[in-house]
Structure 1
Amino acid sequence: MVSLLSCSPGWDAKASASSACDRQAAAKGNSMPNAKKKSGYTKRDLRAVSDTPELTRADFAKARPFSEVFPDLSASIRMGRGPNKAPTKKLVSLRLSPEVVEHFKSTGPGWQSRIDETLRKAVKRKAS
């Protein structure tokens, strides 16, 4: 026969090896905190707070491009990467000996820029 211990309120007496008094889980499977918390809102949440009516085909037919509605703002927004910091380089296909490629690649990232730098130095020496 198992004798039950007297435990504090909210605690249940148990006859187990791990603990004589143990707090009961609120519901099955909820005894451990959930490591992954859901983020964001559900469609129900968004519908509950939305006071904007659903757009109709007529609404879409009346729509105009952003640049037409706000030309000044559209012009002020920079598209693309913007101007280069250095003069633009030309894209070429060049065959190099394996020894040259291995030498520059062995020096790590930026090896193509180092080849460019070496060639520019050679051109300056030749021009002098």
Structure 2
Amino acid sequence: MSVTAFQDLPLADRDREWDGGAAEKRVREWADAQDEPNTEYRDAHVWYDKDKKDNFTAYKLLIADVIDGKLTAVPRAVMAAGAIMQGSRGGIDLPHDDIDRVKSHLAKYYKKMGDEPPWDRD
């Protein structure tokens, strides 16, 4: 299992709508990953199963979209991923050893947005 490397992607406007299905299609096209995932496709996600990296279903926690031709982190996607890590939408099934690393990855985007991640709030 694996947490993707932090890419420090630029941030979209905070009020930008998030449509994960539409973003997924744009990311695949931008990454030229129509047949199978590649490194560019991976960079839009926070976690993937490295043993199944050639399968799109191995990738979880999409936080980016393609905006003006650039891969860009979307604050509402980061917040949705943070909520999922807190159990929203049924939570997520990740290896125990990856959970803190996923949270650390997401926390960097929360900091960039000027926010605290939900797991650090009182």
TM-score by length of 1: 0.18
Larger relative strand fraction: 2
Instruction: Please report the TM-score for the alignment, with normalisation by the length of structure 2.
Output: 0.19
